Structure 1
Amino acid sequence: MAAAAGDGDEHLLSLFASALSHRRFGDQELRLLDAALSAGADVPSLLHTRSSARCLLRKAAAQAFSSVPDLGTTLSTADFFARAFALAGDVESCLAMRYEALLLRQAEYSDDLHLQVSNEEWLTFAKDSLDNGFYTIASKAFANALVRIDPNHPEYLDSTNSILKKDKINDISGLQNLAKSLSALRSGEHFRAMGILILMSWMGIWDPETMRVSLASSTAVSLGT
């Protein structure tokens, strides 16, 4: 199958892999990845390169975060991989990187005006997660967005702005409730599907090995929410 990809994209992806192995995580490397992903001669080549890039990035990310010297490097590395995963079309990994970076900043830089997480950052991330079907994470992110504009939060202004903030709270709360409902609905469908498969196995009309594979697949989808 490797031959399905053109020489150009394979060479560029190899250069990108080499850069990652030397812990070079910058804009130049992202441009190299983008070039590799665009160099395929046809659709099969493009898909092959995209799949290879995703596998490469996941392995490289695991290695990169196994030893990071400080918080600043951790954040810059997370930002790099979030952008790289976005280029490769790996939405789940991209969101995971963004989420971990936001949590780290919230925990370590809450008093830093430049690095603290703003309400808008949490809200943007929450909407992206909701739009891509990651409802549980979206709900948590909406909750974090609400904290910074809650009337009990120290930053809340008791002025004419309070009316606008109350409207914003209502809007975010509505989105959070939607995320919770969609997450519960998907979880319910998952468990109903499991029950049906088990019942069919008991009745002797479903092959146990097929059921095992189906349950594994269903569980993987459920965890992605």
Structure 2
Amino acid sequence: MAGEAEELISIFRSQLILKRYDDSTLRVLHTIMHSKDVGLLLSVRSLVREILQSTAFESLKGVEVLEKTVEEKLQIIGFFVHAFALAGDVENSLALKYEALVLRDHVFVNSPHLQVSYDEWLKFAEDSLNNGFYLNAIQGYDHAVLSLQSTHPNHGVSCVQAHEVEEIKKLKDATRTLVTSQSVQAQTAIYLKKKAGQLSGGKDSKSLGPRHLASSLFRSGIKKHNLRKFEAFSEGKLPQNITQ
């Protein structure tokens, strides 16, 4: 299977070099990411992410230099949104999704069919929230509100739309609370790590005290979580919430 994976990765890399940003290339990636060998899948996913990150950067930089049309830019960005999602790289997938939505928002005056709908912004916010990217979620909620308010600029929002705006603002406020909580937890973790280092400074670094045991359990928990995610990938369960 390792040899087959190497061959598929080589094909995938070649497709990217040839700038074939289409469904055929995504199908190759889909096959790569559905290995039933979890150990192999871990190393393959890491390699695929590296390939995608370097290729996406160069491709998007080339898009600006070649002055491609908006539709061509969106097609390339959309390809990488799907590719990163298939590779399990939610952060980069959502980042590029946001870039595509903003690009469409900037040009829809001249291309009405590219206008981003309220539902699209709301879905982006929900996907960001569900994956722990709270600041991105807040941006999505802001855009969703603006989209509603700009639907009928000369007549104002309807009662239904006003209710939706209030609900979004509640979600946004709740998300801000999560951001604050996350910040406090991060600061607390830094403080505890510093104190733990001071307390263990005079001890043998090879000692297996409670701090080391907790660290091992924490890493074990992450490993089990990742294994469950990869088992889901191998069964064909794709992260549809961000590819649609």
User: Residue 47 of structure 1 aligns to which amino acid in structure 2?
Assistant: L
1:105 aligned partner: 104
SS of 1:66's equivalent in the other structure is: helix
Tell me which stretches of 4 or more aligned residues in structure 1 moved more than 3 Å.
156-159, 195-201, 203-207
TM-score (norm 2): 0.74
**Alpha carbons 2:107, 2:114 under 8 Å: kept:** no
SS of 1:17's equivalent in the other structure is: helix
- Correspondence list, 1:71-82, <5 A: 71-82=70-81
1:155 aligned partner: 152
1:180 aligned partner: 176
Deviation string, structure 1 residues 75-124 (Cα, Å, up to 9, x no partner): 11110000011111111111011011111111233442211111111111
2:52 aligned partner: 57
- Report deviation, 1:190: 1.4
CA distance in structure 1 between the aligned counterparts of 2:183 and 2:32, rounded to whole angstroms? 38
Deviation string, structure 1 residues 186-212 (Cα, Å, up to 9, x no partner): 0122123334444566x56559xx9xx
1:134 aligned partner: 133
- The alpha-carbon distance between structure 1 residues 205 and 60, as it changes in their structure 2 partners (threshold 3 A), is same
> Can you give the 5+ residue segments of structure 1 that lack an aligned partner in the other structure?
211-225
- The alpha-carbon distance between structure 1 residues 63 and 9, as it changes in their structure 2 partners (threshold 3 A), is same
Deviation string, structure 1 residues 108-145 (Cα, Å, up to 9, x no partner): 33442211111111111000000000000100110010
Q: What is the root-mean-square deviation of aligned Cα atoms in Å?
A: 2.4
Is structure 2 residue 25 aligned with structure 1 residue 29? yes
One of 3, 6, 9 as aligned partner of 1:7? 3
CA distance in structure 1 between the aligned counterparts of 2:88 and 2:136, rounded to whole angstroms? 19
1:218 aligned partner: none
Q: Out of 66-75 and 125-134, give the one that drifted further.
A: 66-75
Give identity over the alignment, percent.
33
TM-score (norm 1): 0.80
CA distance in structure 2 between the aligned counterparts of 1:135 and 1:121, rounded to whole angstroms? 17
- The alpha-carbon distance between structure 1 residues 174 and 41, as it changes in their structure 2 partners (threshold 3 A), is closer
**Alpha carbons 1:142, 1:172 under 8 Å: kept:** yes
CA distance in structure 1 between the aligned counterparts of 2:89 and 2:18, rounded to whole angstroms? 23
Q: Out of 182-191 and 77-86, give the one that drifted further.
A: 182-191
Q: Out of 105-114 and 78-87, give the one that drifted further.
A: 105-114
CA distance in structure 1 between the aligned counterparts of 2:174 and 2:83, rounded to whole angstroms? 30
Q: How many residues align?
A: 200
Q: Out of 75-84 and 181-190, give the one that drifted further.
A: 181-190
